[in-house]
Amino acid sequence: MTGLSWADSLREWAIEQLQSGQEITVLFLDLDRFGHFNKLYGHLVGDEVLRRVASTLLSVLDPDVEFLSRYGGDEFCIATLRTAAEAEELAGRISRRIGEIEIPDLHEERITCTIGQYGGKRTREREHVHYAATLNSLINLASRDCMAKKAARMEELPQAGEEAPLVAGPRLRLSWVDVEWKGRKANVRVDLQLQARAGAVRIKGGAVVAGRPVRFPATASVETDESGVLTVVAQTTAAALKRALPAGHDIQLAEVILSPTADQRGVVTVTGEFISPPGQFPIAGSAVVGGDPYRAAAAAVLAATNRLVGRVLESSSS
């Protein structure tokens, strides 16, 4: 449909460059709100969006130093021989050019994208390298960077053509997170606190008096390991949030990812769906690991959901 090669061709090109001693920077591009375009205007318009984005990318890139592929769905991947700084400038140019695309059937809605980046910083020759594994790592890290950036921007992105389900309201705060290990079993407890800003907020038939906090704890006991416990913490946080919500609401998490950052602290990103009577809404949130990855996982869930949860709570009190 787009006329672009798929990821296998990009891998062949990039591995050949690595084998010849070149350094690779990977840009991972994900279109914002593409599902919205498909849902509101139909798949034919969605297909036209993909074609126009592909042609725009081809017009910006230099085939002598770059290889472009369609990675899947609304994702594109670029391998380039540019340095990290040059690739960052290229990413900015790509974002601007994509924002200039005009498609009449979109009724003046603009196409935007999020671009993750990794690589292009090595200053010495690689030794004892598995080139395919190196490339896989670059693509994976660029993809995670894209997801983290998208999560950070999620609340700022306009949902053009869609009505916000509810209005802004009170928010829950993270009181504490505790993980106790007994062998391979992780006993997790998350405690959230709701403080109403003004008036009273009604929750599940009761009411929270302004100025008087109410706690919502949740616990879980699961056999897992260090790589899986962040998911358990995030799911336990979602369970605590659900306790504050009226019937018919739910929070379903899809992914919990710990990604490295330049300062070595890391960032936890969660994605999923917020389910309510008006419909299902995609959610994403992230939190920097300031020394406690468990607390960061819980904070990422709050970052993803707190605005919607606040709207629901305020609506239920009106």
243 and 280 in a single domain? The answer is: yes
Burial class (CB in 10 A: 0-12, 13-18, 19+), 121: exposed
Residue 120 in domain: yes
Give CA–CA dist 214/197, Å, rounded. 13
216 and 123 in a single domain? The answer is: no
pLDDT of residue 154: 52
- Where among 153, 186, 201 does a domain terminate? 153
- Write the Ramachandran bin of 101: left for phi over 0, alpha for psi from -120 to 50, otherwise beta: beta
C-beta of residue 120 within 8 angstroms of C-beta of residue 24: yes
**pLDDT exceeds cutoff 80 at 124:** no
pLDDT in tens, 277-308: 877 888 888 888 877 899 999 999 998 888 88
Where in the sequence is the domain holding 108, given as residue range(s)?
5-153
Say which residue, 202 or 13, is predicted with more confidence.
13
Sign of CA dihedral 103, 104, 107, 108: positive
**pLDDT exceeds cutoff 60 at 211:** no
pLDDT of residue 164: 36
Nearest C-alpha neighbor of 98 from the set 76, 69, 66: 76
64 and 204 in a single domain? The answer is: no
Compute the half-sphere exposure of residue 10: CA atoms within 13 Å on the CB side of its CA.
Answer: 26
Eight-state DSSP code of residue 108: T
- Where among 98, 118, 153 does a domain terminate? 153
124 and 234 in a single domain? The answer is: no
**pLDDT exceeds cutoff 50 at 123:** no
Give CA–CA dist 255/192, Å, rounded. 21
Residue 303 in domain: yes
Q: Please, which residues bridge with residue 203 across strands? A: 206
Lowest mean pLDDT among 53-62, 63-72, 135-144, 205-214: 205-214
- Where among 126, 153, 180 does a domain terminate? 153
Lowest mean pLDDT among 11-15, 98-102, 121-125, 149-153: 121-125
Q: Please, which residues bridge with residue 31 across strands? A: 113
Place 37 in a pLDDT band, splitting at 50, 70 and 90: confident
Residue 17: which residues within 8 A CB-CB, separation 6 or more? Answer: 24, 79, 81
179 and 311 in a single domain? The answer is: yes
138 and 203 in a single domain? The answer is: no
Give CA–CA dist 135/128, Å, rounded. 14
Lowest mean pLDDT among 46-55, 66-75, 99-108, 191-200: 191-200
Give CA–CA dist 318/316, Å, rounded. 6
Q: Which of 89-98, 103-112, 156-165 has the highest mean pLDDT?
A: 89-98
308 and 180 in a single domain? The answer is: yes
Give CA–CA dist 104/257, Å, rounded. 38
Which CATH number belongs to the domain containing residue 294 in this structure? 3.30.160.270
Give CA–CA dist 270/242, Å, rounded. 16
| Residue 142: C-alpha distances to residues 89, 118, 274 (Å) | 16, 5, 26
Place 183 in a pLDDT band, splitting at 50, 70 and 90: very high
| Residue 160: C-alpha distances to residues 34, 65, 80, 106, 156 (Å) | 12, 36, 33, 10, 12
Residue with tokens 């787009």: 2
| Residue 64: C-alpha distances to residues 60, 74, 119, 231, 264 (Å) | 12, 25, 18, 42, 34
Residue 133 in domain: yes
- Helix, strand, coil content of the chain in percent (nearest 5): 40, 30, 30
Q: Tell me how far the alpha carbon of residue 15 is from its chain's centroid.
A: 28
pLDDT, mean over the chain:
83
Domain count of the chain? 2
